[in-house]
Amino acid sequence: MRTLCASTLIGEFFVIGFAGLVAMKNPDLTQATVWTVCGIAMLLSVLLCGMLSRPGAVQIGWALQIGLILSGFVVPMMFFLGAAFAGLWWCSVHYGTKIDEIKARWAAQNEARGEAQA
């Protein structure tokens, strides 16, 4: 699960950065505001990559996905991109968990075979 989720988060890092560049064109926002919000979100996405094995990391990831979708109020294309990344996040968590379970089963079977042969 960690690999799939980390890949999604790194993709989000770049999308958030590009969304910040687009948001700078909004005359109602200052550069400081745009880069403070984007910087925090980008930092969160990178830090979350290293925290995926800890409890609550997936929930924080979901909060980041909601934030990406809501950023569509500033950069309308982010409604679509945020929803796409939320779907990727769901797939990463769902299928990553299944893959981890299959790997654990496979390792247990191999260990049992090794013990039976010894």
Tokens encoding 90:
């769901």
The 3 state secondary structure assigned to 46-97 is HHHHHHCCCCCHHHHHHHHHHHHHHHHHCCCHHHHHHHHHHHHHHHHHHHHH
Q: What is the DSSP letter of 26?
A: -
Neighbours of 74 (CB within 10 A): 17
Residue 118: band (very low, low, confident or very high) from pLDDT cuts 50, 70, 90: low
Residue 117: band (very low, low, confident or very high) from pLDDT cuts 50, 70, 90: confident
The per-residue pLDDT for 1 is: 86
Tokens encoding 72:
């569509």
CA atoms of 99 and 17, how far apart (whole Å): 31
Cut 0.85: pTM above it: yes
How many Cα atoms sit within 13 Å of 51 on the Cβ side? 14
Q: Which residue has the tokens 């890949």?
A: 7
The per-residue pLDDT for 84 is: 97
